[in-house]
Amino acid sequence: MSKSQAQKLRQRHLREGKLDPAIHRLHWNGVNPVSKKTPSLKELQAKQLHKHKSRNLNHPHGDDSFFHEIVMPCSAA
């Protein structure tokens, strides 16, 4: 198999005496980056409450309501 461009670049840097980028990888100081937390009921409710609020900030009325005007013909008496 051929070498990837990134692998060639890493090996060239090592030959030239530069720092190996592999030594900076996988060092999280005890933190597991894939551990996940299930959101609580309060967090889920807050997320639903504030969902899409930023979309409505541009509207002068603040929500997606409509204004209906009823026009009645004037009787000429």
For residue range 9-67, list pLDDT tens digits in order. 999 999 999 988 778 777 777 777 787 789 999 999 999 888 877 665 665 555 556 66
Cβ 63 vs Cβ 56: under 8 Å: yes
pTM tops 0.85, yes or no: no
Instruction: Determine the pLDDT at residue 37.
Output: 85
Cβ 49 vs Cβ 55: under 8 Å: no
Cβ 46 vs Cβ 53: under 8 Å: no
Separation between Cα atoms, residue 21 and residue 39, nearest integer Å: 36
